[in-house]
Structure 1
């Protein structure tokens, strides 16, 4: 969310507008607010996630009819895991080891850790999302993130 004029919070991305429709105007809600330590880098990372997500969906249309915000969150978490930022848990029912994406908590990272995190996400995206890309427009947009 981004705080706008008059103290009004608006979604940072249009895809999350539909999530707010269920809340009635004038309703009273309890929320937890966390301020990002480095909002510019956070916006850049989420813009990169969104760019990757859009490219992935264009190539893999099998998720085209699901809720976009849920798809994006799943995709973002999956790419975070591929970048190496995850915790492992044992499923006691099956005995399988499950990976769960870590929160990319910028406020708990120093500048070096943030840079390493961003680099790992970019490398994971290049390997798994853009692996065979030859489209010059996509490649140019990728360079714009670096």
Structure 2
């Protein structure tokens, strides 16, 4: 069973919510148990990355990539994967017919530590500057882009 805690002063771990505290009533005071500590990535930073994807997606045009017949959700999903690949975060596999398939690395919470996620974000910005915003002269778009730095 998983339990979620917050570290308090003095190294004391307390349940992260009332629901978590209720779950803890099944354990007796002084009873020993094993706990695996796993830090969560910064959720605010994760939202910032996906806001950046959204900003870039709005600037980009699906008809330039032959995706204009896909729904917007599918276009966005393909777009963020392609930008991740352009940023250098991908895996390649060989298919049964010998073709090489390139897939973006997952940016999911459980697949990457915070420091690596920050490096990915920096690479995403560089890839977007090079491939999406390189010829942009609209000062409003440039100012919005700088807000993500």
**Bin for the TM-score computed over the shorter chain:** 0.5 to 0.7
Instruction: Give structure 2 stretches of 5+ with no counterpart.
Output: 1-39
1:123 equivalent to 2:148? Answer no
CA RMSD, aligned part only? 2.1
- Alignment coverage as a number of residue pairs: 110
Q: Compared with structure 1, are the counterparts of its residues 37 and 107 closer, same or farther at alpha carbon in structure 2 (3 Å cutoff)? A: farther
1:134 equivalent to 2:137? Answer yes
Q: Tell which has more relative contact order, 1 or 2 (C-alpha 8 A, sep 6+).
A: 1
Alpha-carbon distance in 1 for matches of 2:131, 2:51: 17
Partner residue of 1:83?
87
**2:91 alignment partner, SS class:** strand
TM-score (norm 1): 0.67
**1:98 alignment partner, SS class:** strand
Instruction: Give structure 1 stretches of 5+ with no counterpart.
Output: 1-35
Contact residue 41 and residue 114 of structure 2 kept, 8 A: no
Partner residue of 2:71?
67
Partner residue of 2:60?
56
Alpha-carbon distance in 2 for matches of 1:81, 1:75: 10
